């Protein structure tokens, strides 16, 4: 009896097993599940991400805050490169990022009416990527980002004599208020947002009022005291003051005051004021933000942006390719060359002689003030 049943059992097992050499059912590569990289914390990922943000920002003349927020929200390098390339063609970055959360990039391009063939060749190689396994956060930038935005967000330098003795007396400023006003005028986008709301003189003025008045007075031949006087008591809103002095009210939300005015009046929570500098970064990020882990297509698309950021020549490009340095190290070498005004070959010669990148900067006595991302990368790759 057992011998009679066994062949039928064996036949059932064989019929459910896959045939030798049989191929799995065809699957759309754009919808196929992509196995994510292990979410192992990585310090290098933060270093590489912040340095790459400087390249993207310089290439498109936008604040570094823009790509920083994209990466911290979960977008990939390819997402950022494609989105900024389409933005350069005139599309709204806010709209692009919103559409990307639900669509493939080819569908996004069709929706915003951009011909993919007009994008750079290296960017076209990234367009076939599908909706990724992670879900980026929804971002909304104020103002909406465009190439050259960084120029329009520039605030004039204020004379160190402001507030003058006349202003101090007229608005009855104490020492703490003078110190806060001066700090805000020296770095309007870098000071804590709470400081802009600190009181600064009679008439219920706050520190941010001084920045707004200073920018408007610089734009038109107006006495700063007159603008502040009109604001005193907050009887007139800043939009009414702009109209009274012949300014278009959108100077408050589309020009250099974009990072100041919304703090004084309130703005939608979660909105990124891209004019303002980000001060806090995570110590570690997922592995996918390390340059070493990028796909070949992503590396081919990111490297030209790095070269464009430093205005590298063809010969410098060729020299770096022969050097076999990592992408971030190539960026470090170029920035050292630009800051020291030395030839790139001289910087590489220092490196070949045994000096680390940090030691080269010390040898050249470079002023690294404000170069936080560069210093972070240089120290990391000098270890």
How many other CB atoms are found less than 10 A from the CB of residue 135?
11
Position 255 scores a pLDDT of 84
d(CA 265, CA 215): 17
Look-up of token digits 């003795």: 165
SS (H, E, C) 60-101: HCCCCHHHHHHHHCCCCHHHHHHHHHHHHCCCCHHHHHHHHC
3-state secondary structure of 221: coil
User: Alpha-carbon dihedral of residues 274, 56, 49, 289, nearest 10 degrees?
Assistant: 120
d(CA 312, CA 306): 9
Contact present, 181 and 210 (Cβ < 8 Å): yes
Contact present, 202 and 172 (Cβ < 8 Å): yes
Position 200 scores a pLDDT of 95
Contact present, 108 and 98 (Cβ < 8 Å): no
Q: Where are the beta strands (DSSP E) in 166-208?
A: none
Query: How far lies 57's CA from each of 40, 51, 153, 335, 382, in Å?
Result: 27, 10, 13, 15, 24
Position 101 scores a pLDDT of 86
3-state secondary structure of 253: helix
Q: Kindly provide the b/e burial profile for residues 35-74, where b requires at least 16 CB atoms within 10 angstroms of the residue's own CB.
A: eeeeeeebebbbbbbbbbbbbbbbbbebbbbbbbbbbbeb
3-state secondary structure of 206: strand
How many other CB atoms are found less than 10 A from the CB of residue 273?
20
d(CA 338, CA 55): 14
pLDDT tens-digit map of 60-98: 999 999 999 999 999 999 999 999 999 999 999 999 999
Stretch (H or E) spanning 97 = helix 93-100
Looking at the chain, the number of H-run helices and the number of E-run strands are 21, 2
In the chain, the N- to C-terminal Cα span, in Å, equals 75
d(CA 298, CA 304): 11
Q: Identify which of 321, 311, 315, 351 has the alpha carbon closest to the alpha carbon of residue 333.
A: 351
Contact present, 287 and 276 (Cβ < 8 Å): no
Q: Which residues contact 337 (CB under 8 A, 6 or more apart)?
A: 310, 316, 343, 344, 346, 347
Position 60 scores a pLDDT of 97
Position 183 scores a pLDDT of 97
Contact present, 203 and 233 (Cβ < 8 Å): yes
d(CA 102, CA 111): 12
Q: Domain residue spans in the chain?
A: 59-151, 165-266, 310-380
d(CA 126, CA 138): 21
Q: Which two tokens stand for residue 216?
A: 């408007």
Question: Residue-wise pLDDT tens for the chain (383 aa)?
Answer: 444 444 443 334 333 333 333 333 333 333 333 345 455 789 999 999 999 999 999 999 999 999 999 999 999 999 999 999 999 999 999 999 999 988 899 999 999 999 999 999 999 999 987 666 678 888 999 999 999 999 999 998 999 999 999 999 999 999 999 999 999 999 999 999 999 999 999 989 999 999 999 999 988 888 999 999 988 877 788 999 988 888 887 888 888 899 999 999 888 888 999 999 999 999 999 999 999 999 999 999 999 999 999 999 999 999 999 998 999 999 999 999 999 999 999 999 999 999 999 999 999 999 999 999 999 999 999 99
């Amino acid at each position: 009896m057992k011998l009679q049943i066994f062949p039928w059992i064996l036949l059932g097992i064989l019929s459910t097993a896959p045939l030798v050499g049989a191929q799995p059912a065809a699957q759309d590569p754009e919808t196929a599940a992509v196995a994510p990289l292990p979410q192992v914390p990585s310090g290098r990922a933060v270093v590489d991400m912040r340095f790459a943000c400087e390249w993207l920002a310089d290439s498109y003349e936008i604040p570094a805050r823009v790509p920083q927020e994209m990466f911290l929200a979960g977008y990939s390098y390819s997402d950022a490169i494609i989105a900024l390339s389409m933005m350069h063609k005139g599309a709204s970055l806010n709209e692009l990022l919103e559409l990307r959360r639900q669509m493939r990039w080819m569908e996004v391009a069709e929706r915003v009416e951009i011909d993919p063939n007009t994008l750079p060749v290296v960017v076209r190689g990234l367009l076939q990527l599908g909706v990724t396994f992670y879900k980026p956060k929804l971002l909304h930038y104020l103002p909406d980002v465009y190439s050259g935005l960084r120029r329009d967000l520039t605030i004039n330098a204020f004379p160190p004599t402001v507030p003058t003795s006349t202003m101090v007396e007229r608005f009855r400023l104490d020492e703490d208020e003078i110190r806060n006003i001066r700090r805000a005028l020296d770095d309007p986008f870098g000071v804590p947002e709470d400081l802009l709301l600190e009181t600064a003189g009679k008439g219920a003025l706050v520190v941010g009022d001084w920045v707004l008045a200073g920018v408007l007075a610089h734009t038109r031949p107006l006495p700063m005291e007159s603008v502040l006087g009109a604001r005193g008591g907050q009887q007139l809103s800043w939009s009414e003051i702009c109209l009274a002095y012949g300014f278009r009210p959108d100077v408050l939300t589309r020009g250099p005051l974009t990072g100041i005015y919304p703090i004084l009046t309130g703005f939608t929570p979660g909105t990124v004021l891209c004019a303002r500098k980000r001060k806090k970064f995570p110590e570690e990020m997922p592995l996918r933000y390390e340059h070493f882990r990028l796909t070949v297509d992503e590396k081919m698309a990111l490297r030209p942006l790095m070269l464009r950021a430093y205005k590298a020549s063809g010969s410098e490009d060729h020299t770096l390719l022969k050097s076999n340095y990592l992408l971030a190290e190539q960026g470090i070498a170029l920035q050292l060359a630009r800051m020291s005004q030395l030839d790139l070959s001289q910087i590489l010669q220092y490196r070949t002689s045994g000096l680390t990148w940090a030691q080269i900067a010390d040898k050249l006595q470079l002023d690294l003030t404000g170069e936080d991302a560069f210093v972070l990368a240089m120290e990391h790759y000098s270890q």
